[in-house]
Amino acid sequence: MKLKLILMSIILFTLSIFVLSSVMADAPPPIPTEYWGRLVIDGQPAPEGTEVKYWDGAEWIITTTTDGWYNIILTGGDSPLTYNDDPDCSTHWANEQACIPCTQDVDCVEGPQEGDSVNIIVNDVPVSVTWRLEASGEENVIVSIPLYTGWNMISLPVSVSPNSPQDVLSLLTGRKVAYYYDASEPDPLQRWRSYDSTTPEFTWDLNILEPNKGYWVKVDSDQTLSITGVVPDSNEFQLYTGWNMVGFQLYSDTIQNAMDRLTGHRVAYYYDASEPDPLQRWRSYDSTTPEFTWDLEEVEIGYGYWVKVDSDQIWGE
């Protein structure tokens, strides 16, 4: 009798494993995750039929925009029935739901999750967007910033992710160098931050590139910096007494209108790398001199500026 009970238990245990395995093997594929994104190229909605390709985990899928929008349908993931929030399946099994335990050291995410980077190619230019919940509410703005051999003063009109210099500048060729002047640093001798693609990472102290800040970027050939990101929620930013490296992202405007948002003595400089004559590249504005002395006439989105003020204040909206 005892032997029969042991045999019966073995048979039932084996049968339960077989049934569980069958359930897992016959489980339907996961519902695809659909992402709608709006493309804005250089300030304008992408033209009808703009080619957008995305990687579905196995191949590049070719789509085109409709009314400036594109969509991505992804399943991805390590397994359709594995979950990072329930790696040992205890929660799913307790609710009598199918689940496959995660293999150790394997990402068990089912499809893209919030914060994941999704690679796309727009008009043969590789870019990436960040997957967000309710992604259809976000506009993925594509910005193309011309760079000229040597030094350029630029700013980022959008928030990008990832936002390290090596990621943002990764599509550029040759050596890339970036500098930022951190006016918030109390010690003037510690204000410069730098990145150089030809030096070890431990030598870099410029770790992120953000909107509303101006950057010196040096390249060794004429090329275009293409980035994709989301327009920042706020375009207000802090200026500190003295010199600041900034970008003005509200909209392109006259230098007078932009500077009227500030108080006191205001000075602004821009380095126009597109000017063939190196001696003619600096453009300037000074609120204390007559207008005919200014040769900096406008502030433009995507440009970086040196701005000097005589008190701490907010610039922007």
> Is residue 167, in this structure, part of any structural domain at all?
yes
How many domains would you assign to the chain? 2
Choose from 56-60, 82-86, 143-147, 303-307 the range with maximum mean pLDDT: 303-307
Question: Looking at 88-92, 262-266, 300-304, which range is the least confident one?
Answer: 88-92
- What burial class does residue 288 get, using C-beta atoms within 10 Å of its C-beta: 0-12 exposed, 13-18 middle, 19+ buried? exposed
Residues 132 and 201 in one domain: no
Q: Do 163 and 49 reside in the same domain of the chain?
A: no
Using an 8 Å Cβ cutoff, are 305 and 270 in contact? yes
Is residue 2 pLDDT above 60, yes or no? no
Residue 225 within any structural domain of the chain: yes
Whether residue 222 is contained in a domain is answered as yes
Last residue of a domain, one of 87, 109, 137: 137
Q: By three-state DSSP, how is residue 67 classified?
A: coil
In a domain, 264, yes or no: yes
Residue 316 belongs to a domain: yes
Same-domain status, 214 and 174: yes
Residues 130 and 167 in one domain: no
- 212 and 312 part of one domain: yes
Cα-only R_g, the chain: 27
Task: Report the DSSP pairing between strands 298-299 and 282-286.
Answer: unpaired
Q: Which domain holds residue 221?
A: 147-317
DSSP H helices, the chain, are 2-25, 90-94, 165-168, 255-259
Q: How confident is the model over 66-88, as pLDDT tens digits?
A: 877 887 776 554 455 667 777 77
Judgement on whether residues 272 and 152 belong to the same structural domain of the protein: yes
